[in-house]
Structures are given as structure tokens and as C-alpha cells.
Amino acid sequence: MMNNPNPIQNYLMPGKRVHLVGIGGVSMCPLAEVLRGAGMAVQGSDMSESDTVKHLRSLGIPVSVGHNAENLGDCDLVVRTAAVHDSNPEIAGAVARGIPVYERAQAWGAIMQHYANAICVSGTHGKTTTTSMCTHIFMAAQADPTVMIGGTLPMLGAGYRVGHGETIILESCEYCNSFLHFFPTVAVILNVEEDHLDFFKDLHDIETSFHRFAELVPERGYVIANADNTGAMESVADLPHPVFTFGLENNADCTAENQTEVDGAPDFDICVRGQKYAHVRLQVYGRHNVLNALAAASAAYCLGVPAAAVEEGLAAFTGAGRRFEHKGTFNGAEVYDDYAHHPDELHALLSTVKELPYKRVIVAFQPHTYTRTTAFFDQFVAELKLADVAIVAEIYAAREQNTTGISSADLCRNIPGSVYCSTLEKVTRHLQEIARPGDLILTVGAGDIFRAGEKLLKEE
């Protein structure tokens, strides 16, 4: 980083004062609680009031709203979320005063070194669902895990959990090589595809990053990879560490046998090297979720978790927040929301729901970032054609500026019968006009498209 000659481990100790910039974030809030539990004095700031900020204050953690160098006080170090840039007044103030500034991922990496088991779930997609499945399994095993998920898990009522057991489970993102700050004892690689091309050069660059991630696993640990995904297997090729594989093809170590469906949901035996390990009946749909379940079960198997906990945990899993999440009913149409923002995720979602007994599948899709929309333009067009009705909201900018002038209207020009909506209000209005009994309405994307569905339901 910019001004940290010493490793962050030198500062994460009782009595030190840490200031978290963006403390209300999905992985910053649990970080605050974990550091406080370790005896540190924790404080922070966020851009606005929120339930998370109120929760932290209820724990005695002071939180300032708005960013100002004066908020630093007499802190010993600063930890920032990835969304906070060098120009932020608190970061600039820390640098001016010689206070070391570290990244959020560095802090989590230091923390996980205190756990016997650090399960890091990585991949281009499926991370949140698989991390959530792992959480269900290890909770069923009464392992009292600490958890950090990039979404809300209904069982926890949050995206994190601060436990007191020997296991920590973290969703591990490759963007900006964040997961290379981690210290996994179990590295799960779900899939490796082209994405985040605003940071990575190409697929080979991404595979190299995942290979470096797998190399972080110590000799006593486990690397778990998807045998059915070419990118995942390329990433673990020539790895000195043995690799435990899962998949439905290619002679994986962990696979699904005797597959059937019960009310459309997968029911199967989990077998490891030809021997039955557990029998599960999922409450989530699709081949991709069978693979996610195999990945979670593989982590459990490698760490000696009893089959009963795998069966109980997966049977109770109904999905993570914004992962085919049922939101309600409007005019006889069922409204669901999903976080899919990569063409592969969109394909998995739409190919799954097309098998369900709905009269029409209506998709309100919001592309996420200009670079991703540009890089995967043709793939997005192809996947959105799977819907009976495609409504495309304007691109969600996130961290980017539109330097190419691309618009969702460009997508619609290539999708017959699609409707372009420049605002979420227009998305909601159009859904109101066309929804009818028997429809499945999906709001899809990593931005704020879910608000269109929620507003629709308020009109019911």
C-alpha cells in the first residue's frame, strides 16, 4: 500500500486503535466486530446513516457520518474498503500524519491466520451461494464459525457472523487480486472465466491470479477445484499441492450420483471416490446449484465434517439474499430477484427458470459497469433472448465513467421485442402494464434493479 512499511499484523493487537473508512460496508462491519472482539479500540466513518451504523453504535463502536480527516482522532492505523480512493480526506489525512493505511483484504488475511481452518470460496460466480451453503453445513456441525459473505443469508439475518470456533468461512474475490492477501487452509475454486477486464488483461491473467491464490494453501491444507470448468483446472495445473476435485463429469473426486428431482429441486447422493458420503435434497434449483453444493460438501469432507451435518445444512438452505430470492406477487405474477451480472450467471438463471411451469419469463435486466457490458456485449444479447420478454434498464455505472458512450439501448437494438428503460421508474411502470397471472418476473443485476421489483410490489 501507500505508506505501510510494517505488516498489518504488527498493529492488530489489543489496545491499538483502528479507524475503518466505510465501516458500514458488507465486509467492514463484521471486520469491526472481529477486531473489537480481539481487544482493539475500533472506530469508523461511513457516508450515511444505516441500520448497520446503528448496530455498530449499539456495540459501543463510534461511527461518524461523512468523511473528514478530523474523524481519525488518535488512531494507530486506518483500514479502508476498496471503494475508498486515495483522494478521500481521511486517507489523505492519514498519509499526511504518517498513520499507516491498509486494505480491508489485508486485515481479513491477518485475522484468518488465527483460525485453524480458513475456508476461502473463490470463483467468477457462485461465491455467495457456496459460502452460504458452507455456513449452513458448519453451523449444522456446531462448529460456531466466523463468516463473511457478500450478500445476506436469511439464517443469519445478515451477511456475516462472528463466532468463537476454529473455522472462518470467507467469500474471496479476485478483483484487484484482493484474495492474494488471504491465508486459506482450504481454497475453493468454483470457476474461472473472463470478468473484471477493467483490472485483468485477459483470461490468462485471471487464471494466473487464481493459481497464485491456490499456491497460498499450506501443505496441511486443501485446494478444491471444479473439474468441469476449464479455467479452474487451468488455474490449478502444475500446482505442487494435491487438488481435490468436484464436478458432474471428468471423474471428479466428489460427484453427484442417483440424481432425481423432487418438485423441480435436485435430489442426489454425494459420493467421494465411489463411496456415498451424504444424501441431499436441495431447496434451490439448477445444475449450477448442484455444483455449488458439491463444492461446499467437498470442503466439509476434507475437514472431516460428518455427513449428517452436510445433509442437515444443505436441506435447510433456501438461497442467499438476491440469489433467485422470492420477493412477492403482483397481479398473479411471481416476482423474484437475482444478482446475476455475468453472461454465465444469466445463462444459469434463465436456463433453470425456463424449466419451471410459468407461462412467461419476464426479465428486467440491469447491466453492471460499462466495461463488462462492452466486453460481453454479444453474450448478453444471446442470453437475454432466452427470456420471453426482456426489459433492459440503463447500465449501472458502479465505480466507472462511461468513456465509450455505450448504453443499454444498444443491447435492445439487437434483441427483438425488447424494451429499453432509461430509469428504474420506467422499468416498474412497464412491469405494471404487462404483468399477468402465470408470469415469472425477474429483476436481475448487481446494481439497484431490485428496487424496481420492490416498488412494483408496493403497487399491488
What does each C-alpha distance from 173 to 89, 143, 236 come to in angstroms? 27, 24, 17
In this predicted structure, what is the pLDDT of residue 1? Answer: 46
Give me the average pLDDT of each 10-residue run along the chain (460 residues).
76 96 88 91 94 92 96 97 89 95 94 95 94 97 93 85 94 91 97 90 96 97 98 96 94 97 92 97 93 98 98 94 89 95 94 92 97 96 97 93 95 97 97 97 95 90
CA distance 131 to 119: 9
In this predicted structure, what is the pLDDT of residue 70? Answer: 97
CA distance 131 to 140: 14
Which residue in 450, 449, 452, 454 sits closest to 367, CA to CA? 449
Instruction: Tell me if 3 is assigned to some domain.
Output: no
Residues 186 and 135 both lie in one domain: yes
In this predicted structure, what is the pLDDT of residue 175? Answer: 85
CA distance 185 to 211: 15
**3-state SS class at 256:** strand
Domain containing residue 56: CATH number:
3.40.50.720
Residues 305 and 441 both lie in one domain: no
- Taking the model in full, what pTM does it have? 0.84
In this predicted structure, what is the pLDDT of residue 2? Answer: 58
Residue range of the domain that includes 59: 8-104
Amino acid at 3: N
Count Cβ atoms within 10 A of the Cβ of residue 268 and give its class: 0-12 exposed, 13-18 middle, 19 or more buried: buried
Q: What is the dihedral of CA 270, 272, 273, 275, to 10 degrees?
A: -70
Residues 244 and 291 both lie in one domain: yes
In this predicted structure, what is the pLDDT of residue 269? Answer: 98
Grid coordinates given for 199 = 483490472
Residues 123 and 264 both lie in one domain: yes
Contact 456, 432 (CB under 8 A): yes
Residues 76 and 150 both lie in one domain: no
Which of 291, 316, 341 is at the close of a domain? 316
Which of 40, 69, 104 is at the close of a domain? 104
In this predicted structure, what is the pLDDT of residue 264? Answer: 82
Instruction: Tell me if 332 is assigned to some domain.
Output: yes
Which of 289, 316, 343 is at the close of a domain? 316
CA distance 448 to 460: 20
Instruction: Tell me if 2 is assigned to some domain.
Output: no
Residues 236 and 126 both lie in one domain: yes
Number of domains present in the structure of the chain: 3
Alpha helix stretches (DSSP H) within 303-423: 307-316, 343-353, 370-375, 377-384, 408-412
Instruction: Tell me if 373 is assigned to some domain.
Output: yes
**3-state SS class at 223:** strand
